[in-house]
Structure 1
Amino acid sequence: MPHLIVDYSRNIHNLGQEKLLKHLNQALITTGLFIASDLKSRMFKDDVFVIGDNDDSQAYIHARLFILAGRSEAEREKLKDSLFTALKNFKGYEAYTLNVQLSVELVEIPTANYAKTEVQL
């Protein structure tokens, strides 16, 4: 924990996926609220999506950060703001003529609903 999942619409082209994930990870690590090795990030391109009434001039990048419950409101705000600023500042994609909606969602998971261990084989 934490887990960062980024979804984006297929009409965004040449998105530097790994570059974006590293950029977002760095923003989160810089907050000082996570141990870097605990942060797991992944990205998915949504091949099937509809925005509104099928407005093909629209696109999106949506980042969801899952964290364990128990952080203060100030810490949650810091995480959300850092992630949102990093997403807004990233320019490694092509979306000519598109209105790209950028969004961030912070999801708290009750600690009773999460388990984690490390194994070495």
Structure 2
Amino acid sequence: MPQITLEHSPHFDGTDWRALALEIHQLCVDVVGATTQACKTRIVRCDDLIIADGDPAQAMVHCDLRILTGRTQEQKTALGEAVQAALLAGVKPYDGPAQISVEIGALDKDNYRKVTLGG
């Protein structure tokens, strides 16, 4: 925890996704009390997607962020707003139509399992 997926259209290839992921990790620490070591981000470039009317100029970035249950709605809202602000500030500028979205979801503590191996 947290489990983070950053999906983006090719329009944002020039973005420093590593730096943005590390910034989101820090937001998870600051806003919901996660540990940096627990944060995991997958960055997925979406070549095959259809947005709105299918115009290839349509662009998107979506952050799916799953955190363990037990956080308040205020914490989840604050995290979502902070991550969206980071995305808006951190993605490569694009002049065409774009959608930047964030979803904060829950990982059920009773059903989530993790083992850390090695040093």
Q: Does TM-score exceed 0.5, indicating one fold? A: yes
Output the aligned Cα RMSD.
Answer: 1.8
The residue number in structure 2 matching 1:69 is 69
Alignment partners' CA distance in 2, 1:110 and 1:13? 33
Change (3 A) 1:52 1:41: same
- Whether 1:116 and 2:109 are equivalent positions in the alignment is no
SS in 2 for 1:81: helix
TM-score, normalisation: structure 1: 0.86
1:23-38 aligned within 5 A: 23-31=23-31, 33-38=33-38
How big is the shift at 1:120?
2.1
- Whether 1:82 and 2:76 are equivalent positions in the alignment is no
The residue number in structure 1 matching 2:4 is 4
The answer on whether the counterparts of 1:57 and 1:99 sit within 8 Å (CA) in structure 2 is: yes
Range that drifts further, 27-36 or 99-108: 27-36
Q: Which amino acid aligns with 1:38?
A: A
SS in 1 for 2:11: coil
* Structure 2: runs of 5+ lacking an equivalent: none
* Structure 1: runs of 5+ lacking an equivalent: none
**Which of the numbers 103, 106, 109 marks the counterpart of 1:105?**
103
Q: Percent identity?
A: 24
How big is the shift at 1:32?
5.5
> How many equivalent pairs are there?
119
Alignment partners' CA distance in 2, 1:2 and 1:116? 11
TM-score, normalisation: structure 2: 0.87
SS in 2 for 1:120: coil
The answer on whether the counterparts of 1:68 and 1:110 sit within 8 Å (CA) in structure 2 is: yes
The residue number in structure 2 matching 1:56 is 56
SS in 2 for 1:7: strand
- Whether 1:17 and 2:17 are equivalent positions in the alignment is yes
SS in 1 for 2:62: strand
